[in-house]
Amino acid sequence: MNVNKLLKHIGTFGVACSMAMTSMATSAAETIKVGVLHSLSGTMAISETTLKDTMLMLIEEQNKKGGLLGKKLEAVVVDPASNWPLFAEKARELLAQEKVDAMFGCWTSVSRKSVLPVVEELNGILFYPVQYEGEESSRNVFYTGAAPNQQAISAVDYLMSEGEVTRWVLAGTDYVYPRTTNRILEAYLKSKGVKDEDIMINYTPFGHSDWQNIVSDIKRFGSAGKKTAVVSTINGDANVPFYRELGNQGITSENIPVIAFSVGEEELSGIDTKPLVGHLAAWNYFMSEENEANEAFIKTWHSFIKDKKRVTNDPMEAHYIGFNMWVKAVEKAGTTDVDKVIDAMVGVEVPNLTGGTSKMLPNHHITKPVLIGEIQDDGQFLTVWQTEGLVEGDAWSDYLEGSKDLTADWTKPISCGNYNTKTKTCLGAAAAQ
């Protein structure tokens, strides 16, 4: 081959490569990527796999409507495998390599805490759909699950007023959410006059299965002649042997009721619910809620998952709310640019599945009703109490020293997640960049 032919050949090859690269870039630009960051294996898979499926359903339904900004949505699913450091790695993969425009994910607070520095460093957006301990507000995170004042405080108030409970067992899995929530609850109980000797606190590791001695201790603690209740922040598959052992030792909802913050319809499905009947859970949504929006959601879920026996639950509703808020904010901003979408999110209102409308607040939490449900033998909940209206999520507890003077407001001129209302200063790490 002579030099001219060689140059012509190289030029043709270069043009072809350039066209291929342009085609690939164009193809990538034709979709809006949504990261799905939920454990599909390990101890938390029992709860999180359903949330992955929920996101796939929501994305599919949005694409049926024409997508977003004229583009189709593309789900990018990863499995952090109930491994907390791996959550950070997978979040970095989604943001830095996959270039997702938003992430929906995490369940446990330790997984969220692992992801937080990554999403802040790379300026991403995370929608977190599960009840949590509060004491946090990040510009890059939208908390669509309940803050403590939207679940834990209301649950204790209910047991005090309706159940006349005066002795308390705070039982949780040993990680951030239960420990911080129980610190708040302990301070709240003491503010109501409850004495130290009337509060028992116990923690167990993830996946704990041998509950015989702990349940014996609970039974002994509840035999002091005072009405006793268990406030449970036990997470994941450890709940199954916990409730079974309660039944084995004759603890029922009549003598020592349990009110759980992490047991919903998904955790109850497929297990023997007899030992649990009459016990309680505090959430912001139950599948049994009767209204048109919820009925439509359940119908869509059953059609998507191709199984009419599959249940819905509170974190699914939180993803439903968060996803629809994100869609509305993107439409409002006219772009998926992170900074513009974050600014557009505050004040967005969308229907929830309990018959009302939820709003994104300046502290990146939302308004929610609080419901107390009694477990039925079919694995569903009968709502026995609920707040009269929607409760605004509070990022910082009113009952902890060092927190009660703090507020979060990501709108100007404050633009801070931990603003001290007394000193009128932002404490630093949570300040907007």
- Report the distance separating Cα 202 and Cα 187, nearest Å: 16
Q: What is the pLDDT of residue 25?
A: 41
Q: What is the pLDDT of residue 43?
A: 86
- pLDDT over 80 (residue 3): no
- Report the distance separating Cα 44 and Cα 148, nearest Å: 21
Mean pLDDT of the chain: 92
Looking at per-residue pLDDT, the higher value among 271 and 184 belongs to 184
CB burial of residue 300 (10 Å; 0-12, 13-18, 19+): middle
Stretch 60-82: mean pLDDT: 98
Confidence of residue 428 (pLDDT cuts 50, 70, 90): low
Q: What is the dihedral of CA 311, 317, 320, 323, to 10 degrees?
A: -130
76 Cβ contact partners less than 8 Å away, ≥ 6 residues apart: 33, 34, 35, 36, 94, 98, 100
Strand partners, 371: 283, 386
Q: What percent of the chain has pLDDT over 70?
A: 92
Residue 426 DSSP one-character state: E
Query: Would you say 130 and 77 are in contact if contact means Cβ atoms under 8 Å apart?
Result: no
Stretch 104-129: mean pLDDT: 97
- pLDDT over 80 (residue 28): no
- pLDDT digit string (tens) for 309-326? 999 999 999 999 999 999
Confidence of residue 256 (pLDDT cuts 50, 70, 90): very high
Q: What is the pLDDT of residue 119?
A: 98
Stretch 286-307: mean pLDDT: 97
Class of domain 149-283 (CATH, top level): alpha beta
Looking at per-residue pLDDT, the higher value among 46 and 398 belongs to 398
Q: What is the pLDDT of residue 13?
A: 45
Q: What is the pLDDT of residue 20?
A: 44
Between strands 406-409 and 416-420, the pairing is antiparallel
Q: What is the pLDDT of residue 154?
A: 95
Domain positions in the chain: 149-283
Stretch 7-23: mean pLDDT: 46
- Report the distance separating Cα 12 and Cα 241, nearest Å: 68
- Which is nearest to 364 in space by CA: 181, 119, 144? 144
Looking at per-residue pLDDT, the higher value among 7 and 31 belongs to 31
Q: What is the pLDDT of residue 426?
A: 95
